[in-house]
Amino acid sequence: MNTDLESCSKSTYIRNFLKGNLLLLALFHLFGCSPSYVFQAAAGQYRLMNHSVPVAEALQKNNLTPEQKEKLNLVAIVKQFGERELGLKQTENYQTVYLESGRNPLYVISAAPKDQLTHKTWWFPVVGRVPYLSYFDRGKAQTKKEQLLKKDLDVIIGQADAYSTLGWFRDPVTLNLLNDSTVNLVETILHELTHTTLYLKGQGEFNESLAMLVGREGARLFLEAHFGPDHPLSLEARHILEDQRLFSSFLDDLLARLETLYRGPLAYEEKMKQREQIFTQARTDFARLTTRLKTDEFTYFGHENLNNAYLLAIGLYHRHYPAFEKVLQQKNGSLAETILYFRTLANDKKDLLQALDESPE
């Protein structure tokens, strides 16, 4: 089963599966990690930092097209909006640009047992357990994938739009962001700044769900404020939010069916047979759903072979969106108040997703 990716096109893969993946070795005290893993990541991060140039310098060069320069100018405005209006932490991120390549600089591996909806995780100091590994070198990522496949795990490799170093380094703007849509650019910047603002050790699903909420809702707020509520970009952002709700409901139902199967008493071989039947039905259900979607945000689904790693990777970002949106509604639509609420809750609760499940309607 080959789920390797040659591009990050959202029409062929889960663009938002990888949004916000952390460059884990950006934290240089990863004493519990493989030295080779630390070295490759450190080298990749150094290359990005050392070969990035200030935004002002990039705007004076002829490397960028007028459209790319327009989007680069927008980055600082988005960042300021996030800090002033959404309560995001002020950082020195996105003041430089990596101009050397438009290729996505990060390959990300996710894995899971074939008969469990459980992330394969890796432990790192400071950030705790995380459900993915990040590589700058595709060959090293492929080698790691082969090692995991030998353990009879479902495995996928994807490419990341962007990542956050949680404020440890100055994250640059990359060309792939400038080549993406304006809506996705705005969303990604706000998503990454959310990680820098609030990141809970070992709670990957919480971290990514919150960042998805702030990125998506924050993008709508910014575009409406900057371009006007009737601008095509504002309409696109609102349509993406509508599609997000539909897709999250579809995905939650699919994962719930698999969880019921895997918890059941059937033998392993029978579970594998029935999970393929569920996957087939999921493709049929999604085909019906596409008639209701207003954007191509989720048209990637099912283009790759379905497996647990693939679905969990998507679920990391999308399954819990409705629960987070409900909190936002309770906070009168204020992202700043929502972030503050979760920051306060984090002082009292170990598992914030569990706390959300237990909260009264």
What digits encode the pLDDT tens for the residues 77-96? 999 999 999 999 998 889 88
Residue 40 has pLDDT above 50, yes or no: no
Residues 294 and 245: beta-carbon distance below 8 Å: no
Residues 47 and 39: beta-carbon distance below 8 Å: no
Decide if 188 is inside a domain: yes
Tens-digit pLDDT profile for residues 158-210:
776 565 565 566 788 888 889 889 999 999 999 999 999 998 888 888 999 99
SS3 58: helix
Backbone φ, ψ for residue 208 (5° rounding): -75, -35
Decide if 119 is inside a domain: yes
Kindly tell me the sign of the dihedral angle through the C-alpha atoms of 309, 311, 317, 321: negative
Instruction: Find the domain containing 185 and state its range.
Output: 15-358
Instruction: Quote the tokens at residue 70.
Output: 């327009």
pLDDT computed for residue 129 by the predictor: 78
Instruction: Quote the tokens at residue 38.
Output: 């630390």
Give the range among 88-92, 157-161, 320-324, 328-332 with minimum mean pLDDT.
Answer: 157-161
Backbone φ, ψ for residue 147 (5° rounding): -65, -40
- Distance between alpha carbon 346 and the CA centroid of its chain, in Å? 21
pLDDT computed for residue 54 by the predictor: 86
Decide if 185 is inside a domain: yes
Residue with tokens 């309770």: 330
Residue 354 has pLDDT above 90, yes or no: no
Residue 32 — pLDDT band, cuts 50, 70, 90?
A: very low
Residue 285 — pLDDT band, cuts 50, 70, 90?
A: very high
Decide if 3 is inside a domain: no
pLDDT computed for residue 42 by the predictor: 47
- In this structure, the dihedral spanned by the alpha carbons of residues 290, 293, 297 and 298, taken in order and rounded to 10 degrees, is -30
pLDDT computed for residue 19 by the predictor: 47
**Separation of alpha carbons 340 and 356, rounded Å:** 15
Residue 105 — pLDDT band, cuts 50, 70, 90?
A: low
Backbone φ, ψ for residue 54 (5° rounding): -60, 150
pLDDT computed for residue 99 by the predictor: 78
* Closest by Cα among 136, 135, 49 to 92: 49
**Helix and strand element counts for the chain (H, E):** 13, 10
Tens-digit pLDDT profile for residues 121-132:
888 766 677 788
Burial class (CB in 10 A: 0-12, 13-18, 19+), 30: buried
Instruction: Quote the tokens at residue 294.
Output: 């207003």
Give the range among 3-17, 73-87, 319-333 with minimum mean pLDDT.
Answer: 3-17
The contacts of residue 300 (CB under 8 Å, 6+ apart) are: 10, 11, 12, 13, 14, 15
Residues 255 and 315: beta-carbon distance below 8 Å: yes
* Closest by Cα among 109, 156, 165 to 133: 109
Residue 28 — pLDDT band, cuts 50, 70, 90?
A: very low
Question: pTM of the entire structure?
Answer: 0.84
pLDDT computed for residue 49 by the predictor: 59
Residue 254 has pLDDT above 60, yes or no: yes
Count of structural domains within the chain = 1
Q: Could you tell me which residue, 168 or 114, shows the higher pLDDT? A: 114
